Chains A and B, each alone.
Chain A
Amino acid sequence: MRALVAVAIGLAPVLLFVLLVSLVDLPPDGPTSPKPLLTADPGPKK
């Protein structure tokens, strides 16, 4: 019986993690970049 309780306690954080991943939008969406589609060479990449 004690072993079953230990197994249930061990599974609880995993179930919480599954719930978190399914409910929270990860990674969060950001806004569309204000930068334009380029029509000139932007120069050397830093």
Chain B
Amino acid sequence: MRRRASLVLLALAVCCAAMAPTLRWYAFPRLAKIPPNQYQETVLEARPATLLNYSTLKAEKVEKITIIQTLKGNVEESKRIERDAGRDVVVWDALAYVTGPDGKMVSKIPERYIFDAHTQDPVNATGETVDGDPVRREGIEFKWPFLTEKRDYQYFDAQTRTSAPIHYKGTQTFRGLEVYYFEQTVPWTKVPMPKAMPVKGITPQVLADSGLTRWYTTKRMFWVEPVTGAPVNGEEIHREELRNAKALMGQDTITVFEGHVKMRGDYVDSIVEMVGSNRLMVMMLVSYMPWSLTVLALALLALAFWLEARSRRPAAPPAGSPPPGPVTAPV
């Protein structure tokens, strides 16, 4: 009976011992994925901000500007690209829509971002665009990989259409979560005019023909929850200028936009809540379950050996039998 129990325990111990690494190194990369049909909106605000008034052609202080950023997973496109890529791919159609204090459009930049569903590495495929221009991304955008490391990452900048390192600057606590703080400064760089302008009749071509050039600099800050790789907060100190504007606007340099853009509080709360539940699922796969199974496997193995050892001991004499008599030497 003991022998059978020890064999059952041995089978259970083997099962637990084999399942622990399977969960961590086989199941985790296949199960922890960004769903291809994700839909997420985020609202960011700059209060106050400086904005170019296109009717007076002067930069004015305004109460606020709002950036509405939407990410929408395109399932049909991801399936199409997966057929060639041979791995799980996510296609995000994104729109950064900027409105002034009156709610009217200031600028809008559509993007298509294609990336690996688990590693978040960019997948360079046809259709990868920023504001209608084909791009070839290197590095991450919007989200960090699962199990983010304390190191610099290449981060894609949609304005300059280039990637540059975003630096790990330390670990902080944000709303009870341990987060990694990343920072990137994009120096003044000449960038393309947006395709959609806020005033009818003014097109990027009209501005380009007048000799105007658009320049941009930003300091980008992200607080990233390292288990899920999700930014739980983001800020940008953003400046845009039109240069070579003397002929058209009376002065050489005009500020188009200047402001400290921050994620709005209600969206920070929502993201922190979402990240909290996703974090638990990832931790179950990479830490809680593998370690619990390892400890359980060792305990079961020890119990199996103990039962096996006991079953091999010689049987004790039955209770109530007379004790052996004194031994006398034969005469």
Contacts and interface: CB of A to CB of B under 8 A. Distances in A.
Interface of A: 2-3, 5-7, 9-11, 13-14, 17-18, 21-22, 26-27, 29-33, 35-42, 44-45
B14 A17 contact: no
Contact of A38 (B12, B14, B78, B95): B95
Contact of A10 (B10, B30, B103): B10
Nearest to B93: A37
Contacts of B267: 45
Interface residues on B, range: 35 or more
Contact of A30 (B37, B66, B99): B37
B37 A10 contact: no
B226 interface: no
Interface stretch (B18-26, B122-130, B206-214, B228-236): B18-26
Given A13-B15, A37-B72, A42 B41 contact: yes
B298 interface: no
A5 to B, nearest CB: 8
15 contacts: A2-B7, A11-B18, A17-B19, A18-B22, A29-B37, A32-B37, A33-B38, A38-B97, A39-B97, A40-B97, A40-B99, A41-B66, A42-B41, A42-B68, A45-B267
Given A2-B7, A10-B15, A41 B75 contact: no
Nearest to B273: A45
A17 to B, nearest CB: 7
Interface string B1-40: 0010001101111110011001000110011010111110
B105 interface: yes
Q: Select the residue from B15, B31, B103 with max chain A CB neighbours within 10 A.
A: B15
Cβ-closest 3 pairs across A and B: A10-B14, A33-B39, A37-B95
B15 A29 contact: no
Nearest to B15: A10
B84 interface: no
B266 A32 contact: no
Interface string B244-282: 000000000000000000001011011000000000000
Contacts of B3: 2
A27 B19 contact: no
Interface string B80-95: 0000000000000111
